[in-house]
Amino acid sequence: MQAFEYVAAKSISEAIDLLSEKGDQARVLSGGTDLIVQVREKRRSLELMIDVKQIPEVNEISYNATDGLVLGASTPCYRIYNNTDIKSAYPGLIDAVSIIGGIQVQGRASVGGNLCNASPAADSIPALIVLNATCAIVGPSGTREIAAKDFCTAPGQTAMGKGEFLTSIKIPIPEKNSSNFYLRFIPRNEMDIAVVGVGASVVLDENHKSFVSAHIALGAVAPTPLYAEEASNLLAGQGISDEIINQAAEAAQAIARPISDMRGTANQRKHLVGVLTRRALNGAVNRVKETE
Amino acid sequence: MPKKTHVQTEINGEGVEFLCEPRQSLLEVLRDELHLTGAKEGCNNGNCGACTVRLGDRIVNSCLVLGVEAEGQKIETIEGIATSEGLHPIQQKFLEHAALQCGICTPGFIVSSKALLEQNPTPSEEDIRFWLAGNLCRCTGYHKIVEAVVDAAKSMNAEVADNG
């Protein structure tokens, strides 16, 4: 691997100063499961890795029934799926972080890193989008928040500017009669990259007969993860039926603009968007019913 | 040239200090600086699990950890698993079930399996296959490995019952 300097930053301000000074020659290190591979394989060169895991607020999970979840950007997957609050409030996020790499990767890889790596096929991002997650960013000019659906701007590119970095992800408390779900298609059983991934969240009426609202997000079918706005909106106020779920699946297919590559053809991906959207919606609906 | 950093860790229960450059992975430090050559380099990109070690309370691919990140951490490698009394039950069962041929993947499988059984003493076959998905074997195949882990769980539980 190329030579570089390493600093374990102790505070947010120290990390901002280093990032501002070094520009794109510095990169934040959390779990390293993407960054270390990219540097080793010479897909990225840098002069400095800034380890942010020792900054308390970047590596903590806090949840309460008023403010919801604040997930430190560097928190590794295994701490997320072992957290009982997250398990009950955001099962769709658990679905995603349980299938990122294998157990060893989950010991290091973080949701913040998944966002910042900005892969179109990132498993956690559709799950975050349907939970209305926001990304808390700090930089030389202060703090700002970006919706998870607007965080990625192109493959490997994010909405963060020079000197900025992601400190945490905020997710509002779940509404009554709501749940969420994420699934992907891969040709293996485990340890693979999504051919297509779909996240769904639903809020149902008290009798579980109709949708109050729904959100659907798609992975691996465009240069960035996509929020399927029209498909989501057409479910609001509708009775739960195969017909309306099929309509939502078709609307989701309509915005998918996949490429053909070694993982699958564009046609196969379009087809999968329909199948997985139906399964994600039904999965979320069933979870609402099961929790009663 | 970045200067070397002094790192203090605990490896297999003993305090260990080493010097390393930031670009050296924990795997390189273990093998090249500390001569703990049990953890193997397979793919060097996080797919094969041959370099699996325990870091704190979880297992990781040591090829995807920087040596400098080990500061203050507790590490367990395959070298720390057998005791002076003999092999660990998982090691014993890998031998009995012939769950290895060339042996390159074996240290990773054993470190991973030990972490599984500590967390879940009675895993189903599916639990074992899911947990071990991050460890690749290119010669034995997985069936004998899974059988060895099932049998190791049984013998460890029987031991606990005897002592209880």
Q: How confident is the model at residue B106 (pLDDT cuts 50, 70, 90)?
A: very high
CA distance B59 to B4: 26
How many Å lie between the alpha carbon of A130 and the closest alpha carbon of chain B?
27
CATH number, domain containing residue B37? 3.10.20.30
Computed over every residue of chain B, the mean pLDDT equals 96
Q: How confident is the model at residue A189 (pLDDT cuts 50, 70, 90)?
A: confident
Same domain for B66 and B100, yes or no, is no
Q: How confident is the model at residue A284 (pLDDT cuts 50, 70, 90)?
A: very high
Domain boundary among B48, B80, B112: B80
Task: Say which residues have a Cβ less than 8 Å from residue A21's Cβ, sequence separation at least 6.
Answer: none
Q: How confident is the model at residue B1 (pLDDT cuts 50, 70, 90)?
A: low
pLDDT > 90 in chain B, percent:
93
Please state the length of chain A.
Answer: 292
**Mean pLDDT for the stretch of residues A270-281:** 98
Q: How confident is the model at residue A190 (pLDDT cuts 50, 70, 90)?
A: confident
pLDDT > 90 in chain A, percent:
98
For residue A292, what pLDDT is reported?
63
Neighbours of A193 (CB within 10 A): 18
Instruction: Convert the pLDDT of each residue in A7-47 to its tens digit.
Output: 999 999 999 999 999 999 999 999 999 999 999 999 999 99
Neighbours of A8 (CB within 10 A): 18
The dihedral formed by the CA atoms of A158, A161, A167 and A172, expressed in degrees to the nearest 10: -60
Range of the domain at B50: 5-80
CATH number of A58-171: 3.30.465.10
What residues of B are in contact with residue A101 (Cβ under 8 Å)? 46, 134
Closest chain B residue by Cα to residue A49: B22
Instruction: Convert the pLDDT of each residue in A195-229 to its tens digit.
Output: 999 999 999 999 999 999 999 999 999 999 999 99
CATH fold of A178-290, please? Enolase-like; domain 1 (3.30.390)
User: How distant, in Å, are the alpha carbons of A91, A168, A178 from that of A107?
Assistant: 19, 18, 29
**Mean pLDDT for the stretch of residues B132-141:** 92
CATH number, domain containing residue B107? 1.10.150.120
Same domain for B41 and B100, yes or no, is no
Instruction: Convert the pLDDT of each residue in B39-70 to its tens digit.
Output: 999 999 999 999 999 999 999 999 999 999 99
Number of domains in chain B: 2
Q: Where are the domains of chain A?
A: 5-51, 58-171, 178-290
Q: Which member of B64, B68, B129 has the closest CB to residue A108?
A: B64
Same domain for B28 and B58, yes or no, is yes
Is pTM beyond 0.95 here?
A: yes
CA distance A258 to B17: 50
Task: Say which residues have a Cβ less than 8 Å from residue B101's Cβ, sequence separation at least 6.
Answer: B139, B140
Domain boundary among B29, B49, B80: B80
Same domain for B9 and B56, yes or no, is yes
ipTM over 0.95: yes
Contact between chains at A36 and B58 (C-beta distance less than 8 A): no
Domain boundary among B20, B53, B80: B80
Instruction: Return the CATH number of A5-51, one of 3.40.50.720, 3.30.300.180, 3.30.43.10, 3.30.540.10.
Output: 3.30.43.10
How many Å lie between the alpha carbon of B58 and the closest alpha carbon of chain A?
6
Same domain for B10 and B67, yes or no, is yes
